[in-house]
Chain A
Amino acid sequence: MNILVCISHVPDTTTKIKFAENNTRLDTTGIQWVINPWDELSLTRALELKEKSGSGVQKVSVAHVGPSSAEPTIRKALAIGADDAYRVDVEALDSYQVAAQLAEIVKAGSFDMILCGIESSDYNGSNVGGMLAEFLDYVSVSGISHLDIEGGEILVTRELDGGREKLVVPSPFVGIVQKGIAKEPRIAAMRGIMMARKKPVHLVDATEAGPLTRVKEFEPPQPRPACKFVDPENPEQLVELLQNEAKVI
């Protein structure tokens, strides 16, 4: 069984977000780029499964859609333990364009399980995984908090609004994963970093598929009014404010 983990390259969450060119694009100066946290957890779980005896997982690959500036992120994924990587050399403008490119990698390869993080921490669309599954007409399961292979069966737990379900899924399938899938993201060790240099990164030509949406500009959210402080010696006043001023309780 071969697993493909789709990785997105996002600004570190603590980065202060700024925009450039009349707020039409992200100002990338000074941004620390990282693997999208959910993708990192997916990769960690894929590697755990590969190491689990009897899982039948032979290979874990990663795929990324984006220009060469994402190379360090891809190398990091290889250093963590992925066997090889695919990069589609195109600056994709929305999740539809990303998913269309990823679909070509899947069609050209031989993957039984494709994992995507539930959303990217930058654009928060939560769309790539589901779109990829539809391009391929594969089964998709969203909100996966647990993934295992037992006796040749792929078992997943999905979180629903108000509960969870355990499912047996056929392969190939697209798993869209969330928190819980792995405890902590795996960190690259020195040996992994050395080995990553020799692992192949396959460069893939972009397909013609373009975006469906167009971001005209970015807008900051409405600033919140300044915090009204209540005297800690008189917390009763808070109840009164919530009752009579905010009228929320």
Chain B
Amino acid sequence: MSVLVYTENWDGSFKKLSCELISFAVKLAEEMQTDVAALSIGNVEAEELEKLGQYGVKRILTAQNGELSQFDPQTYAKAITQVADKEQASLIVMADNNTGKALAPRLSVRMKAAVASGVSHMPDTLSPFVIKTKTFSGNAFAVTELPTDVKILTIAQNSFDLKKNPAEVTVEDAGIDTSGLRPKAAVKEVEKQTDKLLLTDAEIVVSAGRGMKTPENWGPIEELASLLNGATACSRPVSDEGWRPHEEHTGQTGKIIAPNVYFAIGISGATQHLAGVSGSKYIIAINNDKEAPIFDAAQYGIVGDASRILPRLVDALKKAKSA
């Protein structure tokens, strides 16, 4: 019985999310009185691996096999199953991001392990293992029992605080037998967004909607985001109109994000929009309609004309920053 955390890397680096997974797994393993190991697939320098040790993991298993250089859910599921079996893992933890969503269901069938997706709370009880999962786009939690011997949890971003807990790390080869593990799909082209802060990584997101009236009015939105070291986002009508790129669309059918602070400017807050941002810690709304549903979800709000309010907000922020 042990906890295995799959920590994905991005071109050899871990993100805050990876550390959140470790913090969560270490805490859970303590409660379960068992050990934690992290699994890292791909080329990651020793120094970077040690970063994970800052959050309390003592054993890191690495797999640098060439067959695993392309992310392929079918081969990865087979590889991770080998490691989980060897480790006698009773819990497998991964992120609830694109990667985790692609892997967890395959692992579930392979290992006959129940999955809880989008976990944002510690388990209610360990025996039986009962945990809350997000359902109905954030409108309810399903209190779910996972009765299988092996369980898989995918963890929602920004749900667990980082907890420094430095440990001496040992790094071992995961010993994956890669014979027969060759991806059947071939990658033709890779396009990476390296120049700007990713929406899903941003701690602060400044998002705007149709209330901005025209795409020419985005100047202060971008300025606000850059002052706050945040990313820009938008509502669906705005991306449908082509005012902003599709990558910025947050909402049920767009990106689902959970930043620390989410500014919703000129966004009324339809259910579909809130479904994508309800995990945000603070929602700040600026809208000229005081009946707009966004104010029900917001902690701070201003009822008024964004084009008049934004320049003053930008000035106030500049002043606050230089103070």
B-contacting residues, A198-249, CB 8 Å: 212-221, 224-225, 227-232, 235-236, 238-243, 246, 248-249
CB <8 Å contact, A170 and B184: yes
CA distance A168 to B193 in the complex (A): 21
Q: Is B2 an interface residue (CB 8 A)?
A: no
CB <8 Å contact, A218 and B108: no
Q: Is B110 an interface residue (CB 8 A)?
A: yes
Q: Is B172 an interface residue (CB 8 A)?
A: no
Secondary structure at the A interface, as helix, strand, loop or mixed, is mixed
CB <8 Å contact, B116 and A213: yes
CB <8 Å contact, A249 and B204: yes
CB <8 Å contact, B298 and A212: no
A-contacting residues, B288-313, CB 8 Å: 295-305, 308-309, 312-313
CB <8 Å contact, B185 and A139: yes
Closest Cβ–Cβ distance, residue A143 to chain B (whole Å): 5
CB <8 Å contact, B299 and A212: no
Interface 9-mer from B42-50, B159-167, B248-256:
B248-256
- Chain B residue numbers with a CB within 8 Å of A38 are 253
CB <8 Å contact, B140 and A220: yes
CB <8 Å contact, B115 and A242: no
- Interface size for chain B: under 10, 10 to 19, 20 to 34, or 35 or more residues? 35 or more
Interface size on A, residues (CB 8 A): 80
Q: A165-B187, A179-B246, A220-B140 are in contact. Are A99 and B109 (CB under 8 A)?
A: yes
CA distance A228 to B320 in the complex (A): 21
CA distance A164 to B317 in the complex (A): 35
- Chain A residue numbers with a CB within 8 Å of B271 are 13-14
Q: Is B12 an interface residue (CB 8 A)?
A: no
- Chain A residue numbers with a CB within 8 Å of B102 are 130, 140, 142-143, 176
Question: C-beta contact mask, B230-268 vs A, less than 8 Å → 1, else 0?
Answer: 000000000000000010010011100000110000000
CA distance A38 to B253 in the complex (A): 8
CB <8 Å contact, B300 and A241: yes
CB <8 Å contact, A127 and B135: no
CB <8 Å contact, A212 and B98: no
- Chain A residue numbers with a CB within 8 Å of B200 are 161-162
CB <8 Å contact, B187 and A229: no
* The one of A215, A240, A246 that contacts B282, using a Cβ cutoff of 8 Å: A246
Q: Is A71 an interface residue (CB 8 A)?
A: no
CB <8 Å contact, A246 and B98: no
CA distance A131 to B107 in the complex (A): 8
CB <8 Å contact, B187 and A167: yes
- Chain A residue numbers with a CB within 8 Å of B275 are 13, 121
CA distance A208 to B198 in the complex (A): 44
Q: Is A166 an interface residue (CB 8 A)?
A: yes
Q: Is A30 an interface residue (CB 8 A)?
A: no
CB <8 Å contact, B141 and A219: yes
CB <8 Å contact, B302 and A229: yes
CA distance A13 to B42 in the complex (A): 40
CB <8 Å contact, A170 and B185: yes
CB <8 Å contact, B191 and A163: yes
Q: Is A125 an interface residue (CB 8 A)?
A: yes
Q: A17-B140, A127-B105, A173-B185 are in contact. Are A232 and B254 (CB under 8 A)?
A: no
Interface 9-mer from B26-34, B53-61, B83-91, B143-151:
B143-151
Closest Cβ–Cβ distance, residue A224 to chain B (whole Å): 6
Q: Name A residues whose Cβ lies closer than 8 Å to a Cβ of B.
A: 11, 13-14, 17, 19, 37-38, 95-96, 99, 118-119, 121-131, 133-135, 137-143, 155, 159-170, 173, 176, 178-180, 212-221, 224-225, 227-232, 235-236, 238-243, 246, 248-249
Pairs A-B, 8 closest by C-beta atoms: A130-B105, A232-B304, A142-B102, A134-B109, A163-B192, A212-B114, A127-B105, A166-B189
Q: Name B residues whose Cβ lies closer than 8 Å to a Cβ of A.
A: 10, 71-74, 77, 97-99, 101-110, 112-118, 130, 132-148, 183-194, 198, 200-201, 204, 228, 246, 249, 252-254, 260-261, 270-272, 275, 278, 281-282, 284-285, 295-305, 308-309, 312-313, 316-317, 320
A-B contact sample (17 more), CB < 8 A, given A134-B106, A163-B193: A17-B139, A123-B135, A130-B105, A133-B73, A140-B74, A170-B185, A176-B102, A212-B112, A212-B146, A213-B115, A215-B144, A221-B139, A228-B299, A229-B302, A231-B302, A232-B303, A235-B316
